[in-house]
Amino acid sequence: MINRPTFKHVPIDLGYNDIEAVTAPSGRTYKAPDGNHYPSVTTVLGVLNRDSIAAWRARVGEEEANKISGKAARRGTAVHDLVEKYLDNDDIGEPLPHVLNSLTNLRPILDNRIGEIYAQEAPLYSKYLGVAGRVDCVGQFDGVPAIIDFKTSRKKKKKEWITNYFIQEACYAIMWEERTGMPIVNLVTIMDVDGDDPVVFVEHRDNWVDKLKDTIALYHQEQRTRPL
C-alpha cells in the first residue's frame, strides 16, 4: 500500500454524458449530441506526422515498426489508465511492474502539482473547429486551470519534436471553453521517460491556435481531394 494524497474533484457539467466514436480505415469520427459527425482531433493531426512515420516504417521495416508501435501503444494505454485511477483516488490494483514504475516516476508531479480536478477522459466537441476528442485531464496545475495530457516515451523529447501535442491540447482547450464556458489557456504535457526523470512542458494555448486551424484546413483540403 502506497501513501498517497486524496485528490479533490470538482466536476464541471458538460451537459451530456458521452459522444459516440466510430472508427473506420480513414480514421475516427464522433457523433456529437448536436447530431453532427466530427473527425477526431487525433485523426486530423495525423496529417502532420504522416510522412515522417511512413519514412520511419520504411527505414526499420513493417514488422519491426508494428512491434515497436504496438508495444508503445499498449504501454501508453496502461500508464494512462493507471494514472487516471490514481487521480480518481481509486484502488490501483496490482499493475505490471513496468507500469507501476511509471506511476512511481510520475507521482512527485501528480502529488505536488495537480490540484482540483474538473474532468478526466472528458468527451469534447467543437462546432467552431469542427472536431471532437477526449481529453486526458482538466484541472489545476501549479494552481492554474490547465489541459493536462499524459505521455510515455522511450527517450526524452525536445519541444520541437512534439508540437503536435501542444496543438492537440490547444484544441481541447477551445473545445472545453465552448462546452463549459470556462476559458483555459495553460497546456501541460507530463511525460514519463524510460530510465530517466519525467519531463513537463507548459505551453500557452494562444501560441498554437493558428497552427491548429491551419492543420484542420489542410485535413479538409485532403479529404476533398481524396479519390473516391
**What confidence category does residue 3 fall into, taking pLDDT thresholds of 50, 70 and 90?**
confident
144 occurs within a structural domain:
yes
141 occurs within a structural domain:
yes
**What confidence category does residue 228 fall into, taking pLDDT thresholds of 50, 70 and 90?**
very low
The label of the residue with cell 447530431 reads 35
1 occurs within a structural domain:
no
208 occurs within a structural domain:
yes
13 occurs within a structural domain:
no
User: What pLDDT, on the 0 to 100 scale, is given for residue 170?
Assistant: 98
Domain span including residue 215: 20-225
Which pLDDT tens digit goes with each residue over 140-192? Answer: 999 999 999 999 998 999 999 999 999 999 999 999 999 999 999 999 999 99
User: What pLDDT, on the 0 to 100 scale, is given for residue 59?
Assistant: 66
Q: How many domains does the chain have?
A: 1
Residue 44 has pLDDT above 80, yes or no: yes
14 occurs within a structural domain:
no
Residue 52 has pLDDT above 70, yes or no: no
12 occurs within a structural domain:
no
| Percent of the chain clearing pLDDT 70 (strictly above) | 87
2 occurs within a structural domain:
no
Residue 132 has pLDDT above 80, yes or no: yes
* pTM (two decimals): 0.91
Residue 136's domain is classified under what CATH number? 3.90.320
CA 11 from chain center: how many Å? 19
Residue 56 has pLDDT above 70, yes or no: no
Residue 225 has pLDDT above 70, yes or no: no
Who contacts 155 (Cβ-Cβ below 8 Å, separation ≥6)? 193, 194, 196
53 vs 211 pLDDT, higher one:
211
Q: At what angle do helices 41-60 and 209-225 cross, to 10 degrees?
A: 80
Which pLDDT tens digit goes with each residue over 93-131? Answer: 888 898 999 999 999 999 999 999 999 999 999 999 999
**Mean local confidence (pLDDT), 207-219:** 95
